[in-house]
Every structure is written in structure tokens, then in C-alpha cells.
Amino acid sequence: MLLVRHLEDLPEPRLKRGSVVTIGAYDGLHLGHQALLERVLRRARSDDREAVVMSFEPMPKEFFAGDKPPARLMRFREKYDALCDFGMDVFYCPRFSSAMRSISADDFVRRILVRGLRMHHLVVGDDFRFARRREGSLETLETLGRVLDFSVEAVPSVSVDGLRVSSTAIREALLRGDCRGATALLGRPYRMSGRIVRGRRVGHALGYPTANVDLRRRLCALDGIYAVRVRGLGEGPLDGVASVGTRPTFGLDTPLLEVHLFDFERDIYGAYIHVDFVERIRGVEKFSTEGELVAQMERDADNARSILAREAA
């Protein structure tokens, strides 16, 4: 999949047959997003065109929220990898700026979609809005499509047990510790990926060595202690228990993902891993002594083993 941040960097021959485009934040790549992408791919393959997903960095919600952005479900690399695995051809991800914020709906469609991406067909959600002050609508797109010779397809929202699938609904599920609810909306367990970095070896000193994962995000969508499965170490999924958040017992306030893998001994510093969250065990707590902490870690590990054994049964 080709990543493009500026339209002028898009190779001229790449879109010579035109494109099928979708636009959105695509944070989490949940079931609703998957329905859109599947439709884009089917149409692109049948028309012999490129399948293009357009998103923004930072996401518009982050831009408008300033110092209080919503927690990301995916950081940029995770989104890129997921879109690549899905089979998209081009990921166009311009910077969302004051200039982009002020662009008119007409200019956005003519200059970026039609002239820049050579769009022949657009696939969006049924509630899609765009351009300055969200002035652009499906009606706007259909009107411009008749003039500029492109078609528009609105894909209905996806619901699970009566709940509309959305990134917001997934964040809310994770915030209340409902991993199973998040899994139902995502179509897979919630995942965080990152590279293992060297830490202070606190877990090792306590008898519970952990892989410390660099989160590279301002806010996490979840915190607490979890039963997890880890992929990316070349041995299939590995069971473990993970902590996401600060470490108040040691006076550390920088959020970190720490994973203790069961029955595992190997130097894995520098490895890039994927941590799938199966079930929340408890919240982050501060303990008076290291002994109390170790006793609780033992209980957490036992709980995680039981949860994962039950899941595998």
C-alpha cells in the first residue's frame, strides 16, 4: 500500500485508471469501517481502479479538541498496518490544518478528490459530513457528482445488538472495562502494538519480568490489569497478563504498557509486538509495600491464566 501525505507526491501513473475512494478517521477499523472498506475493494476490483482511503493526521477531532483530545484507538502506524493488511492500494493522509479546516465543500471535491485522486466513485457512511463547518453532505456530493462525473455510495451504519458501531462506542466500552463489548464492535479483540523498550526492570526485580511497550500516544483508551494474548514473537499467540497506565506504587506517572508472558524466557528487546486485550481483571491501584504488590500480581496472574484457559476451551 502506498502512503501519500501530499498530493504532489502521488506518482502520476498510479491513478491513471482512476480510483474508488473512501474518507474517514478510521480509528480502530471496527465493523462499520470494515463494511466501507470491503465495498471500496469490491468496486475498485470490478472497475479495475485503485482502492484509496483518505484520512487525516491529526484526526479532525484531535485538532478541534486542542489539549483534551479523545483517546486514540489506533496510533498512526497501527492504522497504516491495518489498512495495508485489509488490501487497500493507496492511503492518502494529509495533515489536518487551519487551511484544511477552511476548505469549501466544492473546492474539496474538485481539487482533492476529482483532480488530485482522480476519483470515479466515492464510498462513505450514511451520516458523512465534510469541509468547513461540515457544510458538505451526501446531497452535496450527489449534486457535484452529476457535474463532475463521479458516483456516490452511502453505506448504512452497522449495529451489534441494537448498538450502532462507532469509535466512540468502543472507547466507552473500554473505559468501563468491557473488553467483550469492544470485541463485539471491533470484530476482534482490542489491540495495542508497539516496540519493546528497556525499562527500569522493576518487574524483573519483583519476580515478574515484563516486556515494556512504548505506547507513543498521548492518551490510552483503557487502563488497568488485563488478561492478554501477545502476537509477533514468531511462536503464535502467547498468554500473559498486562498492566496499562501509571505505576503509582513507585511514584511513576508516565503511562506504560507492561506485559508479563507466562512460561517465557527470552531476550525480546526491540521486538514489535501486538497485545490483544481479552478481559479486564482490575483497575490500577497503589500499594503500601512491594510485598502487597507482589501478592496482588500473583493473584492477577492466576486470574489471567484462568480467563485465558476458559477462552481457549
How far is Cα 110 from Cα 56, in angstroms, rounded to an integer?
A: 18
Q: 112 and 216 in one domain?
A: no
Task: Phi first, then psi: give them for residue 277, nearest 5 degrees.
Answer: -95, 115
Query: Is 307 within 8 Å of 280 (Cβ atoms)?
Result: no
Examine residue 202 and state whether it is found in any structural domain, yes or no.
yes
Q: What is the pLDDT of residue 300?
A: 94
How many separate domains does the chain show? 2
End-of-domain residue from the set 121, 139, 160: 160
Q: How many CA atoms lie within 13 A of 193 on its CB side?
A: 18
How far is Cα 15 from Cα 19, in angstroms, rounded to an integer?
A: 6
Examine residue 155 and state whether it is found in any structural domain, yes or no.
yes
Domain extent, residue 224, equals: 190-312
Examine residue 256 and state whether it is found in any structural domain, yes or no.
yes
- Per-residue cell: 141: 456530493
How far is Cα 47 from Cα 254, in angstroms, rounded to an integer?
A: 49
Residue written as grid cell 478541534: 64
Q: 142 and 24 in one domain?
A: yes
Q: Which residues contact 173 (CB under 8 A, 6 or more apart)?
A: 179, 181, 182, 185
Beta strands at 224-231 and 151-155: parallel, antiparallel or unpaired: unpaired
Q: 7 and 147 in one domain?
A: yes
From the first residue on, what is the mean pLDDT of each consecutive set of 10 residues in the chain (313 residues)? Answer: 94 91 97 98 97 94 85 94 97 94 96 97 95 94 97 97 96 96 98 86 62 82 95 90 75 76 88 96 84 89 96 76
How far is Cα 304 from Cα 299, in angstroms, rounded to an integer?
A: 9
Q: 152 and 16 in one domain?
A: yes
| Cis check: omega of the bond before 58, within 30 degrees of 0 | yes
Q: 151 and 243 in one domain?
A: no
pTM of the model: 0.91
Examine residue 168 and state whether it is found in any structural domain, yes or no.
no
Q: 217 and 140 in one domain?
A: no
Q: 247 and 107 in one domain?
A: no
Examine residue 233 and state whether it is found in any structural domain, yes or no.
yes
End-of-domain residue from the set 160, 181, 203: 160
Q: 114 and 206 in one domain?
A: no
Query: Is 171 within 8 Å of 182 (Cβ atoms)?
Result: no
Q: What is the pLDDT of residue 62?
A: 87
Name the strands in the sheet holding 90-92, side by side, starting at the edge strand that comes first in the sequence. Answer: 2-4, 90-92, 50-54, 19-23, 119-125, 151-155
Q: 284 and 200 in one domain?
A: yes
Distance of CA 88 to the CA centre of its chain: 16
Query: Is 17 within 8 Å of 48 (Cβ atoms)?
Result: yes
Q: 204 and 285 in one domain?
A: yes
CATH of the domain at 117: 3.40.50.620
CATH of the domain at 253: 2.40.30.30
Examine residue 293 and state whether it is found in any structural domain, yes or no.
yes
Task: Phi first, then psi: give them for residue 152, nearest 5 degrees.
Answer: -130, 135
Q: What does each C-alpha distance from 252 to 249, 255, 269, 290 come to in angstroms? A: 8, 8, 21, 14
End-of-domain residue from the set 119, 143, 160: 160
Q: What is the pLDDT of residue 30?
A: 98
How far is Cα 182 from Cα 169, in angstroms, rounded to an integer?
A: 8
Examine residue 264 and state whether it is found in any structural domain, yes or no.
yes
Q: 226 and 278 in one domain?
A: yes
Taking alpha carbons only, the member of 74, 53, 55 closest to residue 119 is 53
Query: Which helix H or strand E contains 32, and what residues bound it?
Result: helix 31-47
Taking alpha carbons only, the member of 11, 106, 114 closest to residue 54 is 114
Q: 201 and 154 in one domain?
A: no
Q: What is the maximum alpha-carbon separation in the chain? A: 72
Examine residue 179 and state whether it is found in any structural domain, yes or no.
no
